[in-house]
Amino acid sequence: MKSDSIHGMWSSRLMFVLAASGSAVGLGNIWRFPYVAGENGGGAFVMVYLACIFLVGIPIMVSEILIGRSARQSPINAMRTAAEASNATSCWQLLGWMGVLAGFMILSFYAVIAGWVLAYIFQLGSGMFTGSSGELAKSAFDGFVGNVWEVLAWFTVFIGITISITARGVSSGLEVAVKYLMPILFFLLVVLVIYAAFTSGHFLEGLQFLFSFDFDKLSWNSVLVAMGQAFFTLSLGMGAIMAYGAYMPKDASIVGTATLIALMDTGVALMSGLVIFPLVFANALESSAGPGLMFITLPLAFGQMAGGQFFGCVFFILVAFAAITSAISLVEPAIAWIVEKLNTTRLIAALLVGGCVWLLGLGSVFSTNIWSDVFIFGEMTFLDTMDYVTNNIILPLGGILIALFAGWILSSKIIDEELVADRWLYPIWQFLTRFIAPIAVSIVFIMALLQD
Ligand code: TRP
């Protein structure tokens, strides 16, 4: 077992937890979870999502961390090293390549949404939503995303921020930022839940929507979307957590840490739902409004709240930070690989990756304006397609392969070394990784295909 990576190391287990939860907690929790839950009918969807987090997500997160930590390299090279050490074919490194590609695809639309968030910091700060109605908030959103130059500018700013942070490396600057920002985000979310609980008058309806299990409404496609959301929100299936695991101190318990991260992430998602749905019902908005949901409900809530101009602005700043700490994990696998392979600086690697993502992202920038009637599949725009394909196909597929590799191929010597701190949980992890995760993901894939 190597004790260090050439890219640097987290200074403690806590810093790994913060970095990994920084990766996990992001737009997936605050923006995507409420709107996909809304589109897929609520309760039953949430149940499937939670089951996927605990039965499939946590075991795969453990697998990613342990592969990364044993090799202390970028996911592409970590897969190769781990495969060679286990006498398996080095073709397994293709999994690392698939992850790099997925990271590019995800960031290309993620940065567009994050750009909307940046713009909303200023819109809320300007007080334009003060006393606003549901209708006004909706037309303000439609007007904003319809403006190609504005969306393009904010998207470019977000990519720029991501590049400038990753170029500096696994820095103490990032560690410090995450250390303060994540707790503040958590705190403000609690304030908002309380606000929604007491002032919307529809909190129970919100609760019911999220937690009443009406399985009749659930199609296999919704099950697939719930599973994809579980992968997305935990940052699994493309090597982000594997890359972060490579910088994790070797004495920390992997299973305990992964469980903690999953719990925090789930907490943030459910709280976001408890903020957004009561507001949806209170203002007679559509729960299935799609990607715009957060950008309509939250400004509305803040617009009606005392001090809302200030809190709204702060909240969107924090959402932006959550998005940044996630975005950097989307490019870390590619950047670490370029540094290892080309022996170049992180700055060059980061610029290269940023340039590619920017180009690919243009398609998503245009999806709400000049290309809003260009559909790739069915009614899906470029942005919707990137989102759908990565979340519902590439990430779960990557996840199955990681589970199969860790469960059946990886040498037990490596696993023993990495899981020393988790002895009694080892058999449970192994059972879930060998059988439950691959079988569950396969069944969902097959059923969703058959049903269409
Ligand atoms: N988990 C993040 C979110 O919820 C997004 C993210 C970061 C991600 N890194 C990832 C998703 C890797 C999939 C794979 O916002």
115-171, pLDDT tens digit by residue? 999 999 999 999 999 888 888 999 999 999 999 999 999 999 999 999 988 888 765
Reported in sequence order, the residue ranges of 311-405 that DSSP labels E, i.e. its strands, are none
- Closest C-alpha to ligand 1, atom 7: 326
User: Which has the minimum average pLDDT: 5-19, 215-229, 234-248, 258-272?
Assistant: 5-19
- Closest C-alpha to ligand 1, atom 4: 28
Instruction: Give DSSP secondary structure letters for 32-46.
Output: IHHHHHHHTTSHHHH
- Is a pLDDT exceeding 90 seen at residue 308? no
Q: Report CA(26)–ligand 1 centroid distance (Å).
A: 7
Q: How many CB atoms lie within 10 A of CB 154?
A: 23
What is the tens place of the pLDDT at every residue in 248-298?
Answer: 988 889 999 999 999 999 999 999 999 888 888 888 888 888 888 899 988
What is the tens place of the pLDDT at every residue in 81-99?
Answer: 999 999 999 999 999 999 9
Is 86 part of any domain?
yes
Is 7 part of any domain?
no
Q: Provide the CATH number for the domain around residue 215.
A: 1.20.1740
Is 400 part of any domain?
yes
Tokens 């639309």 found at: 109
Burial of 247 (0-12, 13-18, 19+ CB in 10 A): buried
Per the structure, the count of domains in the chain is 1
Is 265 part of any domain?
yes
One-letter identity of residue 68: G
Is 359 part of any domain?
yes
Beta-bridge mates of residue 377? 380
Ligand 1: nearest atom to the Cα of 390 = 13
Is 3 part of any domain?
no
Three-state secondary structure call for residue 380: strand
What phi, psi does 377 have (nearest 5°)?
-125, 135
Q: Confidence class of residue 23 from pLDDT cuts 50, 70 and 90?
A: very high
Kindly state the DSSP code that residue 81 receives in the 8-state scheme. Answer: H
Domain that holds residue 227: 13-451
How far, in Å, CA of 362 to CA of 415, rounded? 42
Q: Which among 176, 332, 250 has a CA at the least distance from the CA of 13?
A: 250
- Is a pLDDT exceeding 90 seen at residue 244? yes
Is 2 part of any domain?
no
Ligand 1: nearest atom to the Cα of 322 = 15
Q: Are 287 and 278 in contact (CB under 8 A)?
A: no
Q: Report CA(81)–ligand 1 centroid distance (Å).
A: 25
Q: Report CA(1)–ligand 1 centroid distance (Å).
A: 28
Task: Retrieve residue 259's tokens.
Answer: 């469980």
Tokens 């260090």 found at: 4
